[in-house]
Amino acid sequence: MPAVQETVEQVRSIDVDQYKYGFFTDIESEKAPKGLDEDTVRFISAKKNEPEWMLEWRLEAFRRWQTMREPDWARVSYPAIDYQNLYYYSAPKRPSQLSIDDIDPEILATYEKLGIPLRERDALLGIESAGGSRVAVDAVFDSVSVATTFKEELAKAGVIFMPISEAIREYPELVKKYLGSVVPVTDNFFATLNSAVFSDGSFVYVPKGVRCPMELSTYFRINERNTGQFERTLIIADEGAYVSYLEGCTAPMRDENQLHAAVVELVALADAEIKYSTVQNWYPGDKDGKGGIFNFVTKRGDCRGDRSKISWTQVETGSAITWKYPSCILRGDNSQGEFYSIAISNGRQQVDSGTKMIHLGKNTSSRIISKGIAAGYSDNTYRGLVSAHRKATGARNFTNCDSLLIGDKCGAHTVPYIESKNSSAHFEHEATTSKISEDQLFYCRQRGLDPEEATALIVNGFVKDVLQQLPMEFAVEAQKLISVSLEGSVG
């Protein structure tokens, strides 16, 4: 397979500590005044021409947030975040979302550098040749969505794919019905903050019986200094619908930490299926732990209808701090939840990530495959909850979490909570932690691979079960990222 070769190439071509997405795009932007109060919330809402009900919703969240405390149960430590020293809104000065030609050429160039073609014809050429399928892209630059591709073609199929700021105006009934219905406004400190100040994100609605004709994708980019990014994504798959959604993230290299607190809500009605894939490669900070993104994300899917299915796949290689637990509420009978995760930490990164599978309906099933790789001075924690409630007759879960340690200065931790209140529920959990096998390394090196090539190859094998869950285009990208992330970890 050429991918591994590319992986190996990638390792060779990149110097230690080089983060290839770490450039900054110099464009004029418009910001809300620094700090956060009710006026900031009003400013954001006004910028988005939001209806009154939305502003009220935000203000309620903001008031609630003021009474909340930052959670401290995760195994991460970081300097206190000064919420008054951040910009909560930053937008490129040119008007966005008019037509592709109105977008600042600098932004277009940025996305091209990132490998995300925004022009539809480019997308057709570029991505079709790679993966054989087309991908519709919504690109979010700091606080606003700058371009959504293939909108018209999707509209023909009845699929709504647009920035959430637009959906609030155009489909208020849908938004009102579903926004906050999976992650309530009061859910947790970061989600509540997001509810107050989110500026953009993607909205997807796939109507009854429709199989979305292409992969949908959002690309997030933090550009501005001292800017928090708070995007909000809402995806609804109506009865019998299917959608696959991809998310990618990058940020410039900066000395100071940047805050990212997103909320993603998924709703799958009866017989619907949502597949949500993330390749998270926010800037992780330098080798001494300076700079990097603080990534506090709430992602939750609600299998609301019978026989519905939600599948999360994540490849987490970036961010200084990752605090993220994509979860499934298995409400509908016979509904299914899946969580496939690769979390790689190197340098001074700290990852605390996992999932929650809440079994409420009958004969619900869930599957968790988590692969954690810790290198350098990093800490990598899997934290998960599997629970069966009294009425979850016949619930099933299988969990496998494996951790690999590379070097003796890092830590790998596993904290699963497994709670069964139903005797017919059947849960199986297994976890292992080990170091990369000396025998495997010797074998690979005897065949001619150098230590870094051998490590990359073995690690790619270790995470294969998860990589297989990703759409083709992402799998190749993810494989490269894994090798790059482990750069410098082999002594």
Partner 1 sequence: MNADIRPIRTPAEQALVSALGSLPETGGGRLADLRRASARAFVENGLPHRRVEEWKYTDLRNLMREAVPLASPATVARADAGARLLNGADLRRIVVANGAVVRELSDLDGLEEGLSIATLADALASGDAVLGQLGGIVPARYDAALALNTALASDGLVITVAPGAQIERPVHVAHVFAGDIAAASFARSLVIVGAGAHFTYAESFEGPEGLAYQANVATEFVVGDEAHLDVVRLQEEGAAAIHLATLLFDVGRKAQLHTFGFSSGAAVARTSLYATLSGADSHVAFNGAVLVKDRQHVDSTLFVDHTVPGCESRELFKHVLDDNSRAVFQGKIVVRQAAQKTDGRMMSRALLLGDDAEMDNKPELEIFADDVACGHGATCGAIDEDLLFYLRARGIPLKEAQSLLVQAFVGEAIELVENDVLREALVERAEGWLRARG
Partner 2 sequence: MAMLEIDNLHAKIDGDEGKEILKGLSLKVNPGEVHAIMGPNGSGKSTLSYILAGKEDYEVTDGSVTLDGEDLLEMEIDERAAKGVFLAFQYPIEVPGVATMTFLRAALNAQRKKRGEAEISTPDFLRLVKAKSGALGINPDMLKRGVNVGFSGGEKKRMEILQMAILEPKICILDETDSGLDIDALKVVSEGVNALRSPDRGMIVITHYQRLLNHIVPDFVHVMNKGRIVRSGGKELALELEANGYAEYQQDAA
Q: How far is the CB of 435 from partner 1 (least distance, A)?
A: 4
Contact between 418 and partner 1 per CB under 8 A: yes
Contact between 186 and partner 1 per CB under 8 A: no
Contact between 469 and partner 2 per CB under 8 A: no
CA–CA gap between residue 345 and residue 361 (Å, rounded): 36
- With CB under 8 A as the contact rule, which of the stretches 161-169, 230-238, 347-355, 448-456 interacts with partner 2? 448-456
CA–CA gap between residue 115 and residue 328 (Å, rounded): 31
CB atoms within 10 A of CB 484: 22
For partner 1, give the closer residue by CB, 225 or 421.
421
The partner in contact with residue 67, picked from partner 2, partner 1, none with C-beta cut-offs of 5 to 8 angstroms by kind, is partner 1
SS3 147: strand
Contact between 340 and partner 2 per CB under 8 A: no
In one-letter notation, the amino acid at residue 56 is E
SS3 287: coil
Contact between 69 and partner 1 per CB under 8 A: yes
For partner 1, give the closer residue by CB, 47 or 389.
389
Contact between 413 and partner 1 per CB under 8 A: yes
Contact between 458 and partner 1 per CB under 8 A: no
The partner in contact with residue 447, picked from partner 2, partner 1, none with C-beta cut-offs of 5 to 8 angstroms by kind, is partner 2
The partner in contact with residue 4, picked from partner 1, partner 2, none with C-beta cut-offs of 5 to 8 angstroms by kind, is partner 2
CA–CA gap between residue 391 and residue 385 (Å, rounded): 18
Q: How far is the CB of 465 from partner 2 (least distance, A)?
A: 7
State the pairing for strand pair 90-92/411-420.
unpaired
**The only residue of 34, 424, 461, 464 in contact with partner 1, by rule CB under 8 A:** 424
Nearest partner of 228 among 90, 58, 55, judged by Cα: 90
Contact between 427 and partner 1 per CB under 8 A: yes
Angle of helix 52-66 relative to helix 189-197, nearest 10 degrees? 150
Contact between 401 and partner 2 per CB under 8 A: no
State the pairing for strand pair 292-303/327-330.
parallel
**The only residue of 154, 196, 204, 412 in contact with partner 1, by rule CB under 8 A:** 412
- With CB under 8 A as the contact rule, which of the stretches 67-75, 203-211, 270-278, 302-310 interacts with partner 1? 67-75
Burial, 26: exposed, middle or buried (Cβ in 10 Å; 0-12, 13-18, 19+)? exposed
CA–CA gap between residue 289 and residue 76 (Å, rounded): 13
Q: How far is the CB of 454 from partner 2 (least distance, A)?
A: 8
Contact between 414 and partner 1 per CB under 8 A: yes
Contact between 425 and partner 1 per CB under 8 A: yes
CA–CA gap between residue 231 and residue 146 (Å, rounded): 13
**The only residue of 53, 78, 417, 442 in contact with partner 2, by rule CB under 8 A:** 442
Contact between 406 and partner 1 per CB under 8 A: yes
Burial, 41: exposed, middle or buried (Cβ in 10 Å; 0-12, 13-18, 19+)? buried
**The only residue of 186, 226, 422, 440 in contact with partner 1, by rule CB under 8 A:** 422
The partner in contact with residue 253, picked from partner 2, partner 1, none with C-beta cut-offs of 5 to 8 angstroms by kind, is none
For partner 1, give the closer residue by CB, 253 or 406.
406
The partner in contact with residue 119, picked from partner 1, partner 2, none with C-beta cut-offs of 5 to 8 angstroms by kind, is none
Contact between 463 and partner 2 per CB under 8 A: yes
Contact between 10 and partner 2 per CB under 8 A: no
* Contact present, 168 and 175 (Cβ < 8 Å): yes
CA–CA gap between residue 419 and residue 50 (Å, rounded): 42
CA–CA gap between residue 193 and residue 180 (Å, rounded): 13
Contact between 462 and partner 2 per CB under 8 A: yes
CB atoms within 10 A of CB 184: 14
The partner in contact with residue 52, picked from partner 2, partner 1, none with C-beta cut-offs of 5 to 8 angstroms by kind, is none
Return the residues of window 363-392 that contact partner 1 according to CB under 8 A: 390
The partner in contact with residue 415, picked from partner 1, partner 2, none with C-beta cut-offs of 5 to 8 angstroms by kind, is partner 1
User: Any idea of the CA torsion for 133, 218, 92, 54, to the nearest 10 degrees?
Assistant: 130
Contact between 410 and partner 1 per CB under 8 A: yes
* Contact present, 268 and 297 (Cβ < 8 Å): no
Contact between 6 and partner 2 per CB under 8 A: no
Contact between 439 and partner 2 per CB under 8 A: yes
Residues 6+ apart with CB under 8 A from 477: 115, 248, 279
What x-and-dash track marks residues 70-99 binding partner 1 by CB under 8 A?
---x--------------------------
Residues contacting partner 2: total by CB under 8 A: 28
Half-sphere exposure of 215 (CA within 13 A, CB side): 24
Contact between 184 and partner 1 per CB under 8 A: no
How far from the centroid of its chain's Cα atoms is residue 250's Cα? 11
Identify the helix (H) or strand (E) that includes residue 358. strand 350-359
Structure tokens at 465: 């079960």
SS3 38: helix
Q: How far is the CB of 8 from partner 1 (least distance, A)?
A: 24
Which residues make up the interface to partner 1 (CB under 8 A)? 67-69, 73, 390, 403, 405-435
